[in-house]
Amino acid sequence: MELSLLAHLCCINCAYKLKFWPFPFQLKSKHSFFPKKNNKNNNKEENFSNWLNKYYLSPDQEVNRKIYRNGLFICPNCSRWYPVINYIPEILPDHLRDWGRDLAFLEKQKWQLDSGLKKFLIQVAHKAKFNAKSIIDSGLKFKKAEMNIKDKVDDPLFFGPGYLAPFNPQNPEFTRQLIRRFGQVIYLLELQNPVTILDVGAGYAWTSEWLAKAGHNVIALDICRTYLEIGAKRMMNLPLPLQPELLVADVEAVPFQGNIFDAILCFDAFHHVPDRKKALRHLWRTLKPGGQIVLAEPGPQHEKEPSSIKVMEKFGILEKGMSLEDVQSYAEDLENAEIKQVYIVKVDNDEIKPVLFPASLKAHKFTDCNYYVIRKHQR
Ligand SMILES: C[S@@+](CC[C@H](N)C(=O)[O-])C[C@H]1O[C@@H](n2cnc3c(N)ncnc32)[C@H](O)[C@@H]1O
Ligand SMILES: [Zn+2]
Using CA atoms, how far apart are residues 113 and 367, in angstroms rounded to an integer?
Answer: 59
Ligand 1 atom closest to the CA of 203, numbered from 1: 27
What's the pLDDT at 256? 97
Q: What is the pLDDT at residue 184? A: 94
Task: Burial-class residue 326 by CB neighbours within 10 Å (0-12, 13-18, 19+).
Answer: middle
Q: What is the pLDDT of residue 61?
A: 52
Task: Look up residue 35 and give its DSSP letter.
Answer: P
- Is the shortest distance between the CB of 222 and ligand 1 below 6 Å? yes
Q: Reduce the DSSP state of residue 291 to 3 states and report it.
A: strand
Do residues 9 and 256 touch, judged by C-beta distance below 8 A? Answer: yes
In whole angstroms, what is the distance from residue 163 CA to residue 177 CA?
18
- Cα dihedral sign, 292-298-303-307: negative
What CATH code is assigned to 150-376? 3.40.50.150
The preferred substitution site among 12, 272, 305 for testing ligand 1, maximizing ligand atoms within 8 Å of CB, is 272
The finding on whether 248 has its CB within 6 A of some atom of ligand 1 is no
Between the CA of 10 and the centroid of ligand 2 the distance, in Å, is 8
Q: In whole angstroms, give the CA distance from residue 83 to residue 69.
A: 11
Q: Whose Cα sits closest to atom 15 in ligand 1? A: 272
Cβ of 280 closer than 6 Å to ligand 1, yes or no, is no
CA nearest ligand 1 atom 27, residue: 203
Task: Give pLDDT, residue 1.
Answer: 41
pLDDT of 42: 53
Tell me if 141 sits within 8 A of 316, measured CB to CB.
Answer: yes
Integer angstrom CA distances of residue 175 from 16, 67, 170: 41, 34, 9
**Domain range summary for the chain, segments of one domain joined by +:** 5-132, 150-376
CA-nearest residue, atom 25 of ligand 1: 224
Q: What is the pLDDT of residue 314?
A: 84
Predicted local confidence at residue 379, as pLDDT: 77
Query: Does the beta carbon of 90 sit less than 6 angstroms from any atom of ligand 1?
Result: no
Number of H helices and E strands in the chain, helices first, is 11, 13
pLDDT per position as a tens digit, 310-326: 888 888 899 999 999 99
| Cα 104 to averaged position of ligand 1 atoms, centre (Å) | 27
* 212 three-state secondary structure: helix
Q: What is the pLDDT of residue 289?
A: 96
CA distance 191 to 263: 8
Residue with the smallest CA separation from ligand 1 atom 12 is: 201
Which of the residues in the chain have pLDDT under 50?
Answer: 1-2
Strand 370-376 and strand 337-342: the pairing is antiparallel
Identify residues whose C-beta is under 5 A from ligand 2, the ion: 11, 13-14, 75, 77-78, 80
pLDDT the model gives residue 65? 67
Burial class (CB in 10 A: 0-12, 13-18, 19+), 11: buried
**Nearest CA to 143 among 89, 57, 201, 206?**
201
Q: Is 251 in the pocket of ligand 1 (CB under 6 A)?
A: yes
Give CA–CA dist 361/355, Å, rounded. 10
DSSP string over 96-109: GS-HHHHHHHHHHS
Please, what is the end-to-end C-alpha distance for the chain in angstroms? 35
204 lines ligand 1 (CB under 6 A): yes
Alpha-helix runs per DSSP H in 110-169? 115-132, 140-147
Q: State if residue 207 touches ligand 1 by the CB under 6 angstroms criterion.
A: yes
Instruction: Please state the pTM of the whole predicted model.
Output: 0.93
Q: Is 250 in the pocket of ligand 1 (CB under 6 A)?
A: yes
